[in-house]
């Protein structure tokens, strides 16, 4: 899989191609993403056999490079990012790792371990509601959907199953799972 360090943006208000407006601190793929009202975050990732624990932060208000603002508790190639209004959550889905980590949007610092998912997997993806983060499994025999609370000690619950196992995808509001 190709890696890159580009930060691209495009306008919702018009039809136009994306433009590169900055770079991440290191080129990688398969990291997790979170968003606050003012910044985007990239957690972890993988490049040429190396897994990263880095948390990169980039601002929306101006075109600029990302900065390294902290570290996840473990280096992981497949974080899934979800968020509430004050924190980002990096849910690990690699191999046997099931960790849920939390980091603040208001203070640049390392993440802390706040719980565990009920099941590990690969290539999961997440969606955020106002009160829960939702994580689905993909590219394996598992098709589960788990949700967790947003707090300093998360509670994880299995809430259902996808109609089929999926490989990669994206999400939006209302729990839409768009996959290939």
* Distance set, CA 67 to CA 7, 52, 59, 157 (Å): 12, 15, 10, 34
Condensed to tens digits (0 to 9), the pLDDT of residues 10-67 reads 888 888 899 999 999 999 988 888 999 999 999 998 888 898 999 999 999 999 999 9
Condensed to tens digits (0 to 9), the pLDDT of residues 127-180 reads 888 789 888 765 555 677 888 899 888 888 888 877 766 555 555 544 444 444
* CB count in 10 Å sphere of residue 106: 8
CATH code of the region 4-10+18-179: 2.120.10.80
CB 87 within 8 A of CB 129: no
Domain ranges, ordered by start, for the chain: 4-10+18-179
pTM for the model stands at: 0.86
């Amino acid at each position: 899989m190709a890696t890159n360090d580009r930060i691209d943006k495009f306008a919702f208000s018009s039809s136009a191609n994306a433009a590169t407006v900055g770079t991440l601190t290191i080129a990688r793929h398969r990291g997790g993403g979170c968003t606050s009202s003012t910044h985007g975050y990239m957690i972890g990732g993988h490049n040429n056999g190396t897994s990263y624990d880095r948390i990169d932060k980039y601002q929306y208000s101006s075109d600029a490079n990302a900065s390294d603002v902290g570290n996840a508790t473990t280096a992981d190639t497949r974080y899934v990012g979800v968020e509430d209004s004050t924190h980002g959550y990096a849910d690990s889905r690699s191999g046997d790792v099931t960790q849920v980590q939390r980091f603040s949007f208001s203070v640049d610092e390392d993440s802390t371990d706040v719980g565990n998912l009920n099941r590990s997997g690969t290539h999961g993806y997440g969606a955020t509601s106002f009160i829960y983060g939702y994580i689905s499994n993909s590219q394996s025999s598992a098709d589960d959907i788990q949700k967790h609370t947003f707090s300093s000690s998360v509670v994880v619950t299995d809430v259902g199953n996808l109609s089929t196992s999926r490989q990669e995808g994206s999400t939006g509001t209302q729990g839409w799972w768009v996959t290939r």
